[in-house]
């Protein structure tokens, strides 16, 4: 199965180099991989990687968008989708380290399931990996679970889920979908700008189209942690979350997704709302799976502001 790996990037040359190095070390046949980089970085530094990795990937497409035409990650991924020739589209970010069986694990799941495949993500706190000319090596002690991934993946047990809200797991740092499904769903919504939720919205449309979801814990990628502007990110998240909710104002599960994201209700309660509606709200929320990271992140920022 030919796989198109779609990677948007902006001003992260060293991180992208680490990602490409781990991708070049995959056990899956390189000839079956199509690597598509959508590069909005100004200058020429990141495009040096194009020359370096052209010899390692037979099918490497570098889409230069340094002229400032791209305004969103959704737009970048749409360019990747238009250019892709594979039977399978695999989305990752430009700051991910992939285990050697990463692509194999995605492919294997697609051969046995006609579903969106969600991979596993852990956070890596080791900046030295971005300066390695070889496949980076790091200690397990410098990694931890991704809070959001850990929360939403808890609804899966390695099989196609019957959860009513599997779309909340469609995060484009590690997810794959067959072309046949992607063609029916259409493009990412480019009205989502900045950080967050353009992928969740796409995943919701996939769910509405009837596509099933499954999870492969072995399709593991490590996100290389880096600094970010917390206040800007929270503003972008809130704006895009409101856009998502307003777009699907008749959906109860989308409406209450905000409450889950901000730690007000559990995943179990959100799943109940998706299945049974608001009648379940009069019952106590005894769910054990809550996502508190954004809530705590926001508190930490406001405390130090």
pLDDT tens digits in sequence order for the chain, 305 residues long: 899 999 999 888 889 999 999 999 999 998 889 999 999 887 666 667 888 888 889 899 999 887 766 668 999 999 999 999 999 999 999 999 999 999 999 999 999 989 999 999 999 988 777 766 566 667 777 888 888 888 888 887 644 457 899 999 999 999 999 999 999 999 999 999 888 899 999 999 999 999 999 999 999 999 998 776 667 778 888 899 999 999 999 999 999 999 999 899 999 999 999 999 998 898 999 888 888 766 665 554 444 33
302 vs 305: CA distance, rounded Å: 5
* Same domain membership, residue 116 and residue 32: yes
Domain boundary among 226, 252, 284: 226
Q: Residue 115: beta bridge partners?
A: 212
Could you give the number of structural domains in the chain? Answer: 2
Domain boundary among 226, 242, 267: 226
Give the pTM. Answer: 0.91
* Same domain membership, residue 74 and residue 94: yes
* Same domain membership, residue 175 and residue 103: yes
* Same domain membership, residue 14 and residue 146: yes
* Same domain membership, residue 118 and residue 12: yes
Q: What is the CATH number of the domain that holds 216?
A: 3.90.550.10
- At 223 the three-state DSSP class reads strand
* Same domain membership, residue 168 and residue 60: yes
205 vs 185: CA distance, rounded Å: 6
* Same domain membership, residue 171 and residue 29: yes
Q: Residue 90: beta bridge partners?
A: 5, 176
* Same domain membership, residue 198 and residue 233: no
115 token code pair:
């579903």
Domain boundary among 204, 226, 248: 226
Q: Please, are residues 263 and 295 in contact by the beta-carbon 8 Å criterion?
A: yes
Residue 191 domain boundaries: 3-226
* Same domain membership, residue 250 and residue 153: no
* Same domain membership, residue 198 and residue 282: no
43 token code pair:
């200058």
* Same domain membership, residue 245 and residue 208: no
Q: What are phi and psi of 38, to 5 degrees?
A: -105, 105
* Same domain membership, residue 56 and residue 29: yes
């Amino acid at each position: 199965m030919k796989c198109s790996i779609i990677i948007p990037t902006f001003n992260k040359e060293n991180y992208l180099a680490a990602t490409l190095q781990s991708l070049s070390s995959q056990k899956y046949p390189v000839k079956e991989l199509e690597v598509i980089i959508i590069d909005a970085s100004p200058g020429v530094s990141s495009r040096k990687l194009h020359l370096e990795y052209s010899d390692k990937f037979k099918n490497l497409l570098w889409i230069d968008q340094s002229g400032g035409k791209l305004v969103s990650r959704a737009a970048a991924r749409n360019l990747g989708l238009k250019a892709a020739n594979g039977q399978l589209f695999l989305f990752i970010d430009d700051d991910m380290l992939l285990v050697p069986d990463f692509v194999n694990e995605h492919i294997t799941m697609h051969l046995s399931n006609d579903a969106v495949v969600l991979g596993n993500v852990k956070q890596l706190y080791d900046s030295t990996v971005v300066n390695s000319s070889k496949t980076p090596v790091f200690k397990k002690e410098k990694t931890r679970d991704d809070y959001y991934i850990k929360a939403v993946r808890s609804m899966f047990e390695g099989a196609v889920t019957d959860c009513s809200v599997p779309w909340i797991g469609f995060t484009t740092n590690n997810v794959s979908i067959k072309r046949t499904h992607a063609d029916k769903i259409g493009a990412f919504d480019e009205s989502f700008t900045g950080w967050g939720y353009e992928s969740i919205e796409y995943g919701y449309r996939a769910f509405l189209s009837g596509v099933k979801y499954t999870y492969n814990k072995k399709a593991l990628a490590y996100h290389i942690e880096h600094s970010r502007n917390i206040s800007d990110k929270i503003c972008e998240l809130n704006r895009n979350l409101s856009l998502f909710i307003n777009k699907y104002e008749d959906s109860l599960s989308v409406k209450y997704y905000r409450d889950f994201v901000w730690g007000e209700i559990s995943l179990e309660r959100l799943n109940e709302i998706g299945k049974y509606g608001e009648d379940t709200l009069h019952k106590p929320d005894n769910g054990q799976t809550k996502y508190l990271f954004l809530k705590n992140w926001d508190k930490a920022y406001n405390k130090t502001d």
